[in-house]
């Protein structure tokens, strides 16, 4: 076998064919590498590898067409067939030589993450998982090309048939989906030839043992079939032709059946045992909180996914599918069903009168249900370089857990947002609104002047930075609500006017509002500018989870508070400025933020949690509503909105839905920083110098051999 391997490998190295195969693969790889990693500065090689897969459809036929076909045409195959070397060794020697040639561009691609590491943090695990997938895919394609070369004596026919076969494997996923639309699942057996879809996980950053088993089994099957083709030709003149033919046909059928059965049972391996998340941000890994929540479920929950799985995953729905798969495996109480709207267009009407989009989830338990829009499963932003929408974060796990909490819970808590004094609304803070909705708290608006009372089902009131003072009667209603043990969330931004009624809501608890812009004098407590403050955090009801996770909060252009002790009142000062802070109270008259004699000395509290021990009233007070702006909250990973959610949970008490707070998973990673000149130089090396250098070297070796 080794002699055949060396002979075949020498032919590739001394022929133009091998050079063309390596050079074209490297040219396309270099082109995508330059565009994706050097110019777009993507820290993962996975998108690049995924993009170059198509080139194997074109190049595998070029290198595999002559393996057996040319020898058969020239009748030199008789020397091999009559040699003492077994057919298995002949096939393995030829295949391993093909694989060695293919390994050259694969090994060069393995160097690219190391080159990228000079320009920033690289997603090594994700990149090398994709490279492994690329190698396995190429190995399967080469084994198929080898088989086709063995059944014909024409190189041209072998090349054309190989291309057609590889193209069919490339589109087989769509063919199977189309054939099974009528409900005839028997056609799913054809997915054994679906090379492309079997690569999805590894190209998405998941090391999948099922995919590795699939490609290895395909290689073994193709090599076995090739051996059978050669064996049949070796004994065509034997008197046992009929029996050998029966044996060959039977063994081929058995081998294909074994391959199908092997992959069927491999597909039954639980995802937690066969799939390993290699993405930098753990996109496909369940949080510990979410996993514990699902395992603890004691009520049956059905999750209906509106759409066919294959169709949805073609539109980048893989994260949701993987989350649902893991939930299905973790708990016997969770059942996931994909519902094709084209088959049952009225299905969603059982649960909602609103239009339900493809990709929506309907979570049902008993008589309760909740619809999750596909637009709520992901966060998106506009890429202004291309003016296209780009997904920035995955919130599927958090939304699904929230919906399960809702349908398996009992009475839902309510928070009322006060209106009527030019207050901000929750619509101004979509990140905060989404966080409260995930907490399964019903949000309603309340105009006290119109209603004349605080509703009896109000678990908390929310007053967001009124621009004008509250009416005296409105303030009295809120105070009466507090004296009865109510809860209020307040944000207090700077205003030029007097807000005595508004400030009277908390001044009775020994809290003085410093109505000015706080300036941080300590550079370690500021973000870029002294009015963007990173406060010092200490454990409290609101800050416990933030403190534990070592998260930072960011308060831009905030006001502050000074606390005095008061009997029967506990004030938790969870977030404070440094002692060097001061407040500009004459904002309209100040021309700079430099400290002057009219400024009020710090330190100041920026977020307070107040408990009235005499009646059970609770207040959460923040120096500004700006902390809940999506841009600011997103910059600190949702730590600001987490403060309010922690306060809301405590205010709702036993009525609070036992919702696990699961943060979003960011798709974005820190980009590489590649100087333009360096990008051009590396692009020149990998697009021109390396491929054309290999091509020229192959031509020179070929010419030198011919002269001999």
pLDDT at 175: 77
Q: Give the containing element (helix H, strand E) for 416.
A: strand 414-419
Answer with the residue of higher pLDDT: 71 or 252.
Answer: 252
Q: Is the dihedral of CA 152, 153, 156, 158 positive or negative?
A: positive
What's the confidence (pLDDT) of residue 127? 93
Closest of 338, 380, 341, 336 to residue 357, by C-alpha: 341
Phi then psi for residue 297, to 5 deg, are -60, 135
Pick from 127-136, 429-438, 499-508, 682-691: least confident: 429-438
**HSE on the CB side for 282, CA within 13 Å?**
8
CB 337 within 8 A of CB 354: no
Q: Are the C-beta atoms of 188 and 176 separated by less than 8 Å? A: yes
* Helix (H) or strand (E) run with residue 160 in it: helix 155-179
Taking the C-alpha atoms of residue 255 and residue 452, their distance in angstroms, rounded to an integer, is 80
Instruction: Say yes or no to pLDDT of 418 above 60.
Output: yes
Q: What is the mean pLDDT of the chain?
A: 85
Q: What DSSP string runs through 225-240?
A: HHHHHHHHHHTTTSTT
Integer Cα distance of 158 and 150 in angstroms? 8
pLDDT at 657: 55
Question: What tokens were used for 490?
Answer: 């307040």
Cα–Cα distance for residue pair 564/398, rounded to 1 Å: 39
Q: Any idea where the domains of the chain sit in the sequence?
A: 2-276+670-707, 281-390, 413-657
Average pLDDT over residues 395-421: 86
The whole-number pLDDT of residue 387 equals: 61
Q: Answer with the residue of higher pLDDT: 239 or 46.
A: 46
Say whether 65 sits in a helix, a strand or coil. Answer: coil
Q: What is the pLDDT of residues 457-512, one digit of tens each?
A: 888 999 999 988 899 999 999 999 999 999 999 999 988 788 899 999 999 899 99
Q: What is the pLDDT of residues 126-175, one digit of tens each?
A: 999 999 999 999 999 999 999 998 888 788 888 899 999 999 888 887 77
Rounded Cα–Cα distance for residues 359 and 376 (Å): 11
| 653 vs 237, residue with greater confidence | 653
Q: Identify the bridge partners of residue 464 per DSSP, sorted by sequence position.
A: 491
pLDDT of residue 238: 45
List of residues 6+ apart from 528 with CB closer than 8 A: none
Tell which CATH architecture fits domain 413-657: 3-Layer(aba) Sandwich (3.40)
Alpha-carbon distance of 631 to 252, in angstroms, equals 61
DSSP-derived secondary structure for 205-232: TEEEHHHHHHHHHHHHHHHHHHHHHHHH
CA distances from 504 to 240, 275, 469, 493, 501 (A): 105, 58, 11, 15, 5
Most confident of 263-277, 560-574, 578-592, 652-666: 560-574
What confidence category does residue 237 fall into, taking pLDDT thresholds of 50, 70 and 90?
A: very low
Residue 536's pLDDT band, with cuts at 50, 70 and 90, is very high
281-390 belongs to which CATH class? alpha beta
Measured CA to CA, the distance from residue 159 to residue 163 in angstroms comes to 6
pLDDT at 692 over 80: yes
| Whether residue 420 has pLDDT greater than 90 | no
pLDDT in the model for residue 217 = 94
Rounded distance between C-alpha atoms, residue 312 and residue 318, angstroms: 8
Q: Is the peptide bond before 603 cis (omega within 30 degrees of 0)?
A: yes
Percent of the chain with pLDDT over 70: 90
Ordered alpha helix ranges (H), 333-444: 396-408, 430-438
Which of 403-412, 639-648, 686-695 has the weakest average pLDDT? 403-412
For the sheet containing 529-533, what is the strand order? 526-527, 529-533, 555-556
pLDDT of residue 184: 57
217-221, 291-295, 409-413, 538-542 — which is least confidently predicted? 409-413
Residue 365, both tokens = 């338990």
**Under 8 Å between Cβ of 292 and 658:** no
pLDDT digits (tens, 9 = 90+) for 313-353: 766 788 899 899 999 888 999 999 999 888 888 898 889 88
User: Taking a C-beta distance cutoff of 8 angstroms, is the pair 512, 600 a contact?
Assistant: no
Question: Residue 476 and residue 499: Cα distance in Å, rounded?
Answer: 14
% residues pLDDT > 90 (the chain): 36
pLDDT reported for residue 618: 94
Phi, psi of 536 (to 5 degrees): -80, 130
Indicate the pairing of strand 368-372 with strand 361-365: antiparallel
CA dihedral 421, 422, 423, 429 (to 10 degrees): 160
Task: Name, in order, each residue with C-beta under 8 angstroms of 76's C-beta and a sequence gap of 6 or more.
Answer: none
State the pLDDT confidence band at 386, using cuts at 50, 70 and 90. Answer: low
Task: Compute the distance between CA of residue 651 and CA of residue 17 in angstroms, rounded to an integer.
Answer: 74
Contact indicator for 595, 519 with CB cutoff of 8 Å: yes
Task: Give mean pLDDT, residues 272-301.
Answer: 87
């Amino acid at each position: 076998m080794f002699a055949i391997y060396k002979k075949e490998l020498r032919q590739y190295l001394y022929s133009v064919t091998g050079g063309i195969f390596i050079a074209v693969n490297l040219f396309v790889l270099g082109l995508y590498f330059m565009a994706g990693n050097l110019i777009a500065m993507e820290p993962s090689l996975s998108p690049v590898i995924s993009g170059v897969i198509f080139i194997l459809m074109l190049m595998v036929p070029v290198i595999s067409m002559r393996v057996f076909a040319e020898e058969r045409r020239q009748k030199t195959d008789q020397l091999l067939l009559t040699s003492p070397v077994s057919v298995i060794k002949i096939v393995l020697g030829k295949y391993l030589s093909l694989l060695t040639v293919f390994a050259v561009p694969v090994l060069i691609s393995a160097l690219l993450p190391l080159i990228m590491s000079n320009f920033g943090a690289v997603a090594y695990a994700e990149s090398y998982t994709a490279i492994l997938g690329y190698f396995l895919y190429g190995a399967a394609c080469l084994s198929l090309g080898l088989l086709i070369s063995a059944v014909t004596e024409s190189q041209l026919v072998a090349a054309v048939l190989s291309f057609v076969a590889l193209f069919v494997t490339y589109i087989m996923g769509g063919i199977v989906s189309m054939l099974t639309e009528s409900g005839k699942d028997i056609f799913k057996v054809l997915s054994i030839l679906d090379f492309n879809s079997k690569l999805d996980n590894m190209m998405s950053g998941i090391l999948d043992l099922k995919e590795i088993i699939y490609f290895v089994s395909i290689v073994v099957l193709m090599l076995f079939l090739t051996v059978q083709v050669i064996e049949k030709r070796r004994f065509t003149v034997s008197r046992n032709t009929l029996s050998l033919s029966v044996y060959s046909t039977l063994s081929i059928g058995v081998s294909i059946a074994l391959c199908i059965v092997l992959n069927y049972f491999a597909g039954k391996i639980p995802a937690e045992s066969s799939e390993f998340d290699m993405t930098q941000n753990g996109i496909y890994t369940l949080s510990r909180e979410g996993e514990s929540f699902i395992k603890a479920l004691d009520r049956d929950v059905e999750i209906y996914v509106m759409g066919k799985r294959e169709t949805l995953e073609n539109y980048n729905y893989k994260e949701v599918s993987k989350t649902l798969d893991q939930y299905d495996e973790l708990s016997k109480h969770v059942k996931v069903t994909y519902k094709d709207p084209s088959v049952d267009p009225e299905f969603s009407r059982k649960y909602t009168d609103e239009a339900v989009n493809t990709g929506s989830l309907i979570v049902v338990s008993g008589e309760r249900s909740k619809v999750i829009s596909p637009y709520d499963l992901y966060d998106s932003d506009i890429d202004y370089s291309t003016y296209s929408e780009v997904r920035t974060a995955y919130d599927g796990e958090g939304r699904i857990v929230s919906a399960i909490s809702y349908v398996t819970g009992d009475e839902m808590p309510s928070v009322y947002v006060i209106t009527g004094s030019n207050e901000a609304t929750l619509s101004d803070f979509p990140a905060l609104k989404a966080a409260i909705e995930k907490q399964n708290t019903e949000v309603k608006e309340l105009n006290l002047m119109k209603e004349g009372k605080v509703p009896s089902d109000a678990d908390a009131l929310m007053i967001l930075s009124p621009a004008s003072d509250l009416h005296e009667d409105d303030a009295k209603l809120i105070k009466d609500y507090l004296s009865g043990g109510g809860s209020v969330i307040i944000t207090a931004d700077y205003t030029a006017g007097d807000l005595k009624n508004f400030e009277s809501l908390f001044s009775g608890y020994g809290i003085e509002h410093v109505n000015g812009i706080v300036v941080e004098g300590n550079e370690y407590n500021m973000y870029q500018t002294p009015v963007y403050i990173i406060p010092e955090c200490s454990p409290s009801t609101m800050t416990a989870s933030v403190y534990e996770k070592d998260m930072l909060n960011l308060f831009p252009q905030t006001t502050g508070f000074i606390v005095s002790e008061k009997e029967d009142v506990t004030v938790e000062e969870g977030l404070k400025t440094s002692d060097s802070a001061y407040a500009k109270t004459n904002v309209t008259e100040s021309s700079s933020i430099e400290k002057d004699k009219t400024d009020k000395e710090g330190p100041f509290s920026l977020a307070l949690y107040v408990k009235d021990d005499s009646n059970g009233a609770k207040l959460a007070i923040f120096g500004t509503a700006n902390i809940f702006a999506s841009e600011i909250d997103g910059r600190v990973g949702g730590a600001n909105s987490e403060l309010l959610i922690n306060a809301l949970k405590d205010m709702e008490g036993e009525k609070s839905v036992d919702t696990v707070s699961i943060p979003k998973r960011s798709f974005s990673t820190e980009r590489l920083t590649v100087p333009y000149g360096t990008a051009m130089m590396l692009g020149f090396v990998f697009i021109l110098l390396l491929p054309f250098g290999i091509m020229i070297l192959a031509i020179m070796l070929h010419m030198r051999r011919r002269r001999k």
